[in-house]
Amino acid sequence: MTRTVNCVLLGEEAAGLDYAPYPGELGQRIYDGVSKQAWQRWLGHQTMLINEYRLTPMELEARKFLEKEMDKFLFGEGSAAPKEYVPPK
């Protein structure tokens, strides 16, 4: 049986993640309250941020930035795209 969560991003019951996708307290919050669908949305947004800001995820500052953006995207006011970003058609 699939585990369900009351997804904080979607605002509805949805299939939950199979494991915590991130370490620590933030990872546990994600596991407890973010659905698979919402997590996939974050991964797409994260990819856009990495590409647009030309981040190197191995660098500490890039990881800190992405962690803050992840928290905002999933639990806060949302993570905005860069002003220059033009979505693909």
Domain boundaries, the chain: 4-75
Query: Which class in CATH covers the domain with range 4-75?
Result: mainly alpha
For residue 5, list its beta bridge partners. Answer: 14
pLDDT in tens, 21-78: 999 999 999 999 999 999 999 999 999 999 999 999 999 999 999 999 999 999 998 8
CA-based end-to-end distance of the chain: 38
Instruction: Scan for tokens 């019951």, then name that residue.
Output: 13
| Cα–Cα distances in angstroms (integers) from residue 77 to residues 20, 39, 69, 71, in the given order | 22, 16, 10, 9
- Output phi, psi for 4, to 5 deg: -115, 155
Instruction: Return the amino acid letter for 49.
Output: L
Report the predicted TM-score, pTM, of the whole model to 2 decimal places.
Answer: 0.88
